[in-house]
Amino acid sequence: MKVETLAGEVVKACVAENVDYMIASAFAYGMYGIPRSTKDVDIVLSVKGENVILRVIERLSGQVEFGDQVQFDTLTWGKRHVGKVIGNPQLQVELFELFDDPFVLAQFERKVLLYSPQVGAEIWAPTAEDVLVQKLRWGRAKDLDDARDIIAIQEIKNLEMDYVHHWCGIHKSEERLREAINRIPKDL
Amino acid sequence: MTEEQRQADLIKLQDAIYIDKVRRARTLTPEERLADVFELTNGVLERMLDGVMWQKKIDDIDEAKLVLSHQIQRLRLVRDYERPKLTGLHS
């Protein structure tokens, strides 16, 4: 199964169950940074409504086998449900429950719709500014490289920097933002 | 050539490669960059599978997928080992 087919199946399951979602991780970064490969289809889901996650998991049951255990990923998105793709166990689906954090909620609220011909559907994704703020907040070496890439490719003049500064102020990640900007070669 | 010169040349080369990558990415729309993520992912997984079949002398593709799945799971554990230094979670 190609990864775009898998992403399409997850998106279709969310739409069919009327669940708000947005793509995350490598897909979200790749939209605004330097595209790279991934092994996971990561989706953030709003859990408003009854048995939201279970309904999406049930709808995917022909293609993806989810484990019984919910993993807690409190440093990233909260609860995480991990499923292996049947027939293609090297691919994984991770469903993250939207959790009650002011930035995470704002990011989800500001999500944008784009059409992917490969997926064959419109999909919800975070904005460039939100991916940037999130990367600066997480602050791993890879995240800081990703933050630099997003700024380099999108360019400061095209980013809502007031919004970025607002959240970096709250998250105390302004120094990381300054470093990311300073690491962009001067010729760009 | 001194070590300092070698280091300076290396940085210049790294910057030139990075600038090329950024300039190429700037010519693409978000939709096109997402398409690149799909293409890269499919290509990398295919090559990793070929690599497993060659390295482990496996002819059966389903068996190779299981071995690859195990290897990727180990990569995920390594990735998860570096926890985000998250700021402002409770702000």
Identify all chain B residues contacting A76, using CB atoms and an 8 Å cutoff.
Answer: 84, 86
A148: three-class secondary structure by DSSP = helix
DSSP string covering A67-108, please? -SPPEEETTTTEEEEEEEETTEEEEEEEEEEP-S-HHHHHHH
Closest CA of chain A from B14, distance in Å = 10
Mean pLDDT of A168-175: 97
Q: How many CA atoms lie within 13 A of A143 on its CB side?
A: 22
- What are φ and ψ of residue A17, in 5° steps? -95, 5
Tokens describing residue A25: 């991780």
With a threshold of 0.90, tell me whether the complex ipTM lies above it. yes
| Residues found in chain B | 91
Structure tokens at A47: 């859990």
**Which one of A2, A37, A129, A131 would you mutate to disrupt binding with B, by most B Cβ within 10 Å of its Cβ?**
A37
DSSP state of A40: E
* Residue A71 banded pLDDT, cuts 50, 70, 90: confident
Half-sphere exposure of B84 (CA within 13 A, CB side): 18
pLDDT digits (tens, 9 = 90+) for A97-132: 998 899 999 999 999 999 999 999 999 999 999 999
pTM here? 0.91
Residue A72 has pLDDT above 90, yes or no: no
Q: Which of A27, A90, A146 to mutate to test the interface with B (most CBs of B within 10 A)?
A: A90
Coil, strand or helix: which one is A112? strand
Burial class (CB in 10 A: 0-12, 13-18, 19+), A70: middle
Per residue in B12-56, pLDDT (tens digit) is 999 999 999 999 999 999 999 999 999 999 999 999 999 999 999
Name the residue among A28, A60, A5 with its Cα closest to residue A135. Answer: A28
Give the pLDDT score at B6.
94
